Structure 1
Amino acid sequence: MRLSGKSAVVYGAAGNMGGTVARAFARHGAHVYLVGRTQSTLDAVATEIVEAGGRATVARFDVFDQPAVEAHADRIVQQTGSLDISFNAVGMEAVQDIPLVDMKLEDFMAPITDSARSHFITTTAAARRMTAQGFGVIVLLSSSAAGESRHRMGGFNVACAGIEALNRGLAGEVGRYGVRVVCIRPNFTPETAPGLSAEDLAPLIRDTHLGRLPRMSEIAEAAVFAVSDGAGAMTGTVLNLTCGALVD
Structure 2
Amino acid sequence: MLLEDKNAVIYGGGGAIGGAVARVFAREGARVFIAGRTQAKLDAVAHDVAATGGKVETALVDVFDQGAVDRHADAVAATAGSIDVALNAVSVMHDQGTPLADLSLEEFMRPVDGFLRTLFITSKAVARHMGRARPGVILTLSEPGAKLAVPGILGHAVSAAGKEAFTRVLAAELAPGNIRVVGIRPHATVDAPAAGSYTADLFEPLAAASGSSVQEFLEVGLASGTLLKRLPRLAEIAETAAFLASDRAGAMTGAIANLSAGALVD
Q: State the TM bucket, normalised to the shorter chain.
A: over 0.9
Shift of 1:200: 5.0
Counterpart contact for 1:134–1:177, Cα < 8 Å:
no
Corresponding residue number in structure 2 for 1:189: 189
1:230 to 234, 240, 248: 248
Shift of 1:93: 1.2
**Structure 1 position 22 matched with structure 2 position 22:** yes
Moved over 3 A (4+): 131-134
Corresponding residue number in structure 1 for 2:260: 242
More deviation, 77-86/192-201 = 192-201
Shift of 1:151: 4.5
Amino acid in the other structure paired with 2:222: L
More deviation, 44-53/217-226 = 44-53
Deviations 1:128-187 (A, max 9, x none): 221465520000010111111124223011111100010011000010111000000001
| Number of equivalent positions | 248
Shift of 1:60: 0.3
Using the size of structure 1 for normalisation, the TM-score is 0.96
More deviation, 107-116/187-196 = 187-196
Secondary structure, counterpart of 1:9 in structure 2: strand
Counterpart contact for 1:187–1:214, Cα < 8 Å:
yes
Corresponding residue number in structure 2 for 1:145: 145
Provide the identity percentage: 46
**Structure 1 position 82 matched with structure 2 position 73:** no
| Mapping of residues 207-222 of structure 1, within 5 Å | 207-222=225-240
Provide the alpha-carbon RMSD of the alignment: 1.3
| Mapping of residues 115-194 of structure 1, within 5 Å | 115-131=115-131, 135-194=135-194
Counterpart contact for 2:193–2:215, Cα < 8 Å:
no
- Residues 200 and 34 from structure 1, CA distance in 2 versus in 1: closer, same or farther, beyond 3 angstroms? closer
Corresponding residue number in structure 1 for 2:203: none
Alpha-carbon distance in structure 2 between the residues aligned to 1:217 and 1:31: 19
Alpha-carbon distance in structure 2 between the residues aligned to 1:213 and 1:6: 30
Alpha-carbon distance in structure 1 between the residues aligned to 2:166 and 2:217: 35
Counterpart contact for 1:208–1:243, Cα < 8 Å:
yes
Amino acid in the other structure paired with 1:214: P
Counterpart contact for 2:12–2:35, Cα < 8 Å:
yes
Using the size of structure 2 for normalisation, the TM-score is 0.90
More deviation, 27-36/130-139 = 130-139
Amino acid in the other structure paired with 1:211: K
Secondary structure, counterpart of 2:161 in structure 1: helix
Corresponding residue number in structure 1 for 2:197: none
Counterpart contact for 1:182–1:237, Cα < 8 Å:
yes
Alpha-carbon distance in structure 2 between the residues aligned to 1:185 and 1:200: 17
Shift of 1:54: 0.2
Corresponding residue number in structure 1 for 2:207: none
**Structure 1 position 44 matched with structure 2 position 44:** yes
Question: Where in structure 2 are there 5+ consecutive unaligned residues?
Answer: 195-199, 201-213
More deviation, 134-143/193-202 = 193-202
Secondary structure, counterpart of 1:191 in structure 2: coil
Amino acid in the other structure paired with 2:111: P
**Structure 1 position 202 matched with structure 2 position 217:** no
More deviation, 44-53/220-229 = 44-53
Amino acid in the other structure paired with 2:260: T
Question: Where in structure 1 are there 5+ consecutive unaligned residues?
Answer: none
Amino acid in the other structure paired with 1:88: N
Secondary structure, counterpart of 2:263 in structure 1: coil
Shift of 1:126: 1.4
Counterpart contact for 1:82–1:133, Cα < 8 Å:
no
| Mapping of residues 52-131 of structure 1, within 5 Å | 52-131=52-131
